[in-house]
Amino acid sequence: MNLTLFDLDNTLLNGDSDFEWSQFLIRIGVLDRELFEARNLAFYEHYKAGTLDIHEFLDFQLKPLARHARKTLDQWHGQFMREQVSGMITQAARDLVNRHRVAGDVCVIITATNSFVTAPIAREFGVENLIATEPEHRDGEFTGRVADVPCFREGKITRLENWLAQRGWDWNSFADTTFYSDSLNDLPLLLKVKNPVAVNPDDTLRKHAEQHGWQVISLR
């Protein structure tokens, strides 16, 4: 049995769903462009540079969920999937996931982006297992706060190992372990698996991959 992990944003997706969700809310008039767009861009640049304060970002990203009914949010997300996400999914990404699914691997999408944004995207890829940052909710509605450890940097390892333990597994349960990612932020988890694969990597990850002989691929 093999374990195959996929990062989502800028790996399986040709773009960042977290960033694009905020841009979508700005575009449809839910968020004020003047107040939110510059901050959204700044957070994205910090993420790419490896300097993101995840708790500050989650406060920014999750608060809008608490201001609207879940039914309304779900309607907006359906529109987001049609108008934005569908164009971010390449055939190469679909084929990669399908190869591992057909091989019988345990496939997991593991992402820092919150599960409200990413669960429908995981379903679109046919991946049942999603480990994502979890927004807190009460009585079916979001509170604007984060629940559990954010699924970011070392937090991805914590969340993954907890997920494995809940199923009676650990790293030794698998003959092979693979992780596909684009980002320097995923170096902690990339260093844990047997087969780290850099996908359209940022400059830092590309340099690390080349120095250590990791596979580098493109899904574009």
162-172 confidence digits (pLDDT tens): 999 999 999 99
9 is catalytic: yes
* Catalytic choice (9, 18, 105, 186): 9
pLDDT confidence of residue 137:
85
* Catalytic choice (7, 18, 105, 202): 7
**pLDDT tens digits along 121-161:** 999 999 999 999 999 988 888 988 888 899 999 999 999 99
pLDDT confidence of residue 151:
96
Model confidence pTM above 0.75: yes
What's domain 2-217's superfamily in CATH?
Answer: HAD superfamily/HAD-like (3.40.50.1000)
* Domain ranges (residues) in the chain: 2-217
CA distances from 135 to 43, 65, 132, 143 (A): 18, 9, 9, 8
At 183, give phi and psi (nearest 5°).
-115, 145
Q: Which residue stretches of the chain have pLDDT < 70?
A: none
Edge-to-edge strand order for the sheet containing 195-199? 141-147, 129-138, 106-114, 2-6, 176-181, 195-199, 215-217
pLDDT confidence of residue 103:
97
pLDDT confidence of residue 4:
98
148 is catalytic: no
Q: In whole angstroms, give the CA distance from residue 3 to residue 13.
A: 20
* In the block, residue with structure tokens 């201001």: 67
At 58, give phi and psi (nearest 5°).
-65, -35
pLDDT confidence of residue 44:
86
pLDDT confidence of residue 43:
87
pLDDT confidence of residue 62:
86
pLDDT confidence of residue 61:
85
Q: Which long-range contacts (CB under 8 A, 24 or more apart) does 213-216 make?
A: 214/190
